[in-house]
Amino acid sequence: MPFANHRGQRIHYTVEGSGPLIVLQHGLLLDAASWKQCGVVDALADRFRVVCVDSLGHGLSDKPADPALYNQAQRAGDVVAVIDDLGDARAHVVGHSMGGWVAVGVARFFPARLASLAIGGWDFLSGLPRGNAGPLTYGAFITFARRTVPELAEWVTPDLEGGVRACFNALGQVDGAKDAVLSSRVPVLLWNGQDDGPHAPMQRFAAENGLYAMSVPGDHLGALLQHGAAIGRGIGSFVGRG
Per-residue confidence (pLDDT) for residue 184, from 0 to 100: 94
For 118, the 3-state DSSP assignment is: strand
- Per the DSSP assignment, residues forming a β-bridge with 27 are none
The CB density around residue 170, as the number of other CB atoms within 10 Å, is: 21
Question: Which helix H or strand E contains 193, and what residues bound it?
Answer: strand 188-193
The whole-chain average pLDDT of the chain stands at: 96
- What's the whole-number mean pLDDT along residues 36-65? 98
Per-residue confidence (pLDDT) for residue 43, from 0 to 100: 98
> Does residue 30 contact residue 58 with C-beta atoms inside 8 Å?
yes
> Does residue 92 contact residue 116 with C-beta atoms inside 8 Å?
yes
d(CA 192, CA 27): 13
String of DSSP letters for 75-102: HHHHHHHHHHHTT-S-EEEEEETHHHHH
Q: What is the pLDDT of residues 163-174, one digit of tens each?
A: 999 999 999 999
Per-residue confidence (pLDDT) for residue 11, from 0 to 100: 98
Cα distances (angstroms) measured from residue 108 to each of 72, 77, 223: 9, 11, 26
For 228, the 3-state DSSP assignment is: helix
Question: Is the predicted pLDDT of residue 131 greater than 90, yes or no?
Answer: no
Cα distances (angstroms) measured from residue 64 to each of 10, 34, 55, 80, 231: 10, 22, 12, 19, 32
Per-residue confidence (pLDDT) for residue 134, from 0 to 100: 75
Q: Residue 84: what are its φ and ψ, rounded to 5°?
A: -65, -45
Q: Using pLDDT thresholds of 50, 70 and 90, give the confidence band for residue 242.
A: low
Q: Using pLDDT thresholds of 50, 70 and 90, give the confidence band for residue 70.
A: very high
User: How are beta strands 3-6 and 9-16 bridged, if at all?
Assistant: antiparallel
| Residue 76, amino acid | A
- What's the whole-number mean pLDDT along residues 207-226? 97
Report the range of poorest mean pLDDT among 66-75, 133-142, 186-195: 133-142
For 7, the 3-state DSSP assignment is: coil
In terms of DSSP H, where are the helices of 172-214?
Answer: 177-182, 199-209
Q: What is the dihedral of CA 156, 226, 106, 199, to 10 degrees?
A: -110
Do you know the residue count of the chain?
242
Question: Is the predicted pLDDT of residue 132 greater than 80, yes or no?
Answer: no
- What's the whole-number mean pLDDT along residues 92-109? 98
Question: Is the predicted pLDDT of residue 6 greater than 80, yes or no?
Answer: yes
Q: Using pLDDT thresholds of 50, 70 and 90, give the confidence band for residue 139.
A: very high
Question: Which helix H or strand E contains 36, and what residues bound it?
Answer: helix 32-37
- What's the whole-number mean pLDDT along residues 124-133? 84
